[in-house]
Chains A and B, each alone.
Chain A
Amino acid sequence: MGLVTPGSDTDDVEQRPLVPRVDTLAGKTIGLYDNGKPAAEPLLTAVQEKLEARYPDATFSWYHVEHLNQIKNDDEQDAVVEWAEGVDTAIGAIGDCGSCTKFLAWGVELIEDAGTPGVGLIDEGFELDYQSNAIERGRPLRYKKTPVRCETTDLERVREEVSEDVMDGIEDELTRPLNDKERAEPVAQ
């Protein structure tokens, strides 16, 4: 006699391709997606300042989720897609706890749904969390680990920790052409 599996059937999550990256950030409208965690705004502020220094002709557009949980709501999801359709590329923050990493992946997924390439910024301890949520949602979403420890809201400290190397990494994720896996047509997980 066999066993009845206690788990749900989830092995058929199709992996969809990522949206092609922009070739440069020069002159682009860059979206900054704040997922509602207190540490998201200072991190994105520091990132914006450094991108402005690199690309004076770039413009920025913010989207703030007022509370982390609101991304569960259909209205909020529709609003994120509508906003993302108006930017050329987008950076989301922050994945620095269990639920916020999950909901950041949801947010970046919505940005990609809008046809806009997105990148999530995460605390390095939440890499597997981001990856597994992204794969479960159906895309190998890009991300950049930052040295900013979770829940850090001191803007001065964040400015110091978002080094030029970190910025190089973010820029790379935003502009590096897709690889074969990222370009692949839908396949079962």
Chain B
Amino acid sequence: MFNIQMTYNKNLFNLFVFIFIISSCSSMNVTEEVVYDGGISTVEASIQEDYPLEYETKAIFTNATVYFEFDKFNLNNKSLQTLKSAVAAMKNNPSIKITISGHADERGTREYNLALGQRRAEAVRDYFAVNGINSNRIIVKSFGEERPLSSGSDESSYAKNRRAEIN
């Protein structure tokens, strides 16, 4: 699943030496130390999406996105309108599967935002579920604040980034 390519970019010696000697000299103790020198290796991650989507899926759900308030994951009326047509498309095309990705704005901590993005994606999944769409047709995940749509640090950018994308 992961191809790892390694480059040894520093020294090939992997030395871990730690010596701490106290030897008494005429007036006082002398500390002796040996510099620790661990080597470092660089790894390159090869990218592989684990659930590639079929072409058909993408064509139907392009740009289905719903938005949220700061630190919230409840769906508003506008979101419900968007999701209604998505549910209809899912019912008309029983073979297709979707991925819902939740996102957050940059404010607050990255891990909390990852969890918040997940809650947003789950809120959308739950809407599909109560409207009769089987959850095994849906993959839910979060990118937290790591994939902003807009890079600005202002409320209008933040509002665009607090979203769940269906595709």
**Are chains A and B native binding partners rather than an unrelated pairing?**
no
